[in-house]
Structure formats: structure tokens, C-alpha cells
Amino acid sequence: MSFWSDKKVLVTGGAGFLGSHVVEELQRRGLPKENITIPRSKDTDLRVWENCMEVCEGQDMVFHLAASVGGIGYNQENPATLFYDNAIMGVQLMEAARRQNVKKFVQVGTICSYPKFTPVPFKEENLWDGYPEETNAPYGLAKKMLLVQAQAYRQQYGFNAIYLLPVNLYGPRDNFDPHSSHVIPALIRKFVEAKKRGDSSVTLWGTGKATREFLYVEDAARGIVMAAERYDGAEPVNLGAGFEISIADLAAMIKDIVGFYGELVYDTTKPDGQPRRSLDTSRAEKEFGFRAEVPFREGLERAVKWFVENR
């Protein structure tokens, strides 16, 4: 019997970008489809306490992936919503899981919780060394409080809650809505649509100098499930690919994959966000054997292909 064959598992956000890949990874590892509960936000609002109690009843494990998220512009326009929704969902769900005797709780946090000026590569012990980058601080702090909750519940109740910090994700089924998407899907959409229209240029936010690290979504799903199987520690764990690329180089790579031959124009009145982002991923490898596998350009090609076929 596999680790998963007799488990009852709740995956919040299981129909979303990351969640759908986590569900597929669980099934690949032997979890029967009928043992997976995926609440949909239109039917089950996790900001409502009674709904949290209901979905946690009878579960062996909870993956809390549901989140209210978006790119820099979305964060600037909706800081209160992002703080409230993410804090209240996570706090209530973890408390409900504890009351319903769930054996393990897997909380997925965010790289946005790190301080604005964190030494690169970001180590987990740097997490409390300063305030997050202003444009996404409310979101990052709401998610960071769930680490505090997980550690407090472990200390007082012996509750097995683990906390993972994935870097920026990308890949098939990403959110390509221009009002709320992150940088890779936003760039893919811009270049594909500019090519179709025959535009002579594409305008990008910021200076292009900021750097980011990206993790292919299937790698992230595999890492999350590996942690669920093998990690029972109190300390947060980074999930990343262990590289850093500037937004300018990223844009040039996506432009090349899409086959757009126009000019790149940078709107420097728009914010860059955090200056640099790259993770130290050694703890994940040491604790549960996770390493990213999908080469970056190959992952981008798959993301572009998915968007072109599904837009």
C-alpha cells in the first residue's frame, strides 16, 4: 500500500493553478480520486467559520492552497482584501483542522513574506529580519502569520502543521488575466497578443533590472507532496529552483519563444517590486529530497504553448 492509498485529503484551492497540479500529483502517488475533497469558492467560502469546520470533518490531511493573489498592480489596488481574505481563511481553517483532529496540515506560504532587502539567496532564517516589500506586504504578512499559528499550535497542541515557501510559480493553467496575473503569464499574454496584432513594440513595467526566481508548477506540486509525506518539522522550508534571472532577460526569453520581433519599452514610472528574489533551497533537499527538475526555458515553452492553445 502506498502512503496515500487510505488517506482522506482536503485540498483547498484544488481547482486552481497550483492546486490542480497538486491533486494530479497526489493521484499519481496512489491517492484515490474519491478520497480528495476540493471545495470550490463559489460554493464554500472559507472566510465563513462553519464552512471550515464542515470541510475539515473526517479528513486525515489538509493542503491549504486557496489564496487571494495577484501581481504588483493587483496588490496595490487591493491591499486590505488581500490581507483579510488570506489571514481569515488560513487562521480559521487551521483551527478547524485542529478541532476536527486532522493529523497533518500543509500550509503553503509565499516568498512575498521575506523582507524587502533580504541577502540573496534567501535563507529561511532571514524571514524575520525586516518588513516585506511595500507593494505586497499586506499579502505577505497575512501568509506569514500562518507560520506563527502553525508553530504556536505545534507547541501548545502538538498539532502537526508544516509551512512551505514556494518561489514565484509558472506553467500551464496559470492566471493570464491582465488585471491580476503575475509577471510570466502577463508577459506571455502581452507578447502573444502583440504578435497577433502586428505591434511594433511592447511596454513593460519598471526598469527590467529586478531579478526573480521561478519554479515550474509541476515541480512545485511534487515538492509540496514530498513534504507532506516526509517532513514533520516546525521550521519553514523554501521551495525553489535555485537560480536568478532579471526581468529584462526573462522578457527577452519569452519574446524569443513567442516569436515577437518588435521593440521592448520600459515604463520606469511603474514599480519594480522587490529588487532581488532568489532562494536557498538546501533545506528542502536535506529534509525531504526535493530538487527542481524542469529546465527554465522548457517550462516557459510549455506555458506559452498552453496559453496559445487555450486562450
Residues with active-site annotation: 139
**Exposure string over 40-76, b if 16+ CB within 10 A, otherwise e:** eeeebebbeeebbbebbbebebbbbbbbbbbbbbbbe
CB 173 within 8 A of CB 21: yes
Q: How far apart are CA 287 and CA 298, in angstroms?
A: 27
Q: Cell digits for 11?
A: 485540498
Cβ neighbour number for residue 265 with a 10 Å cutoff: 11
Torsion of CA 53, 75, 228, 22, to 10 degrees: 90
Q: In 3-state terms, the chain is what percent helix, strand and coil (to 5)?
A: 45, 15, 40
Closest CA to 10 of 40, 50, 49: 40
CA angle 122, 24, 176 (to 5 degrees): 65
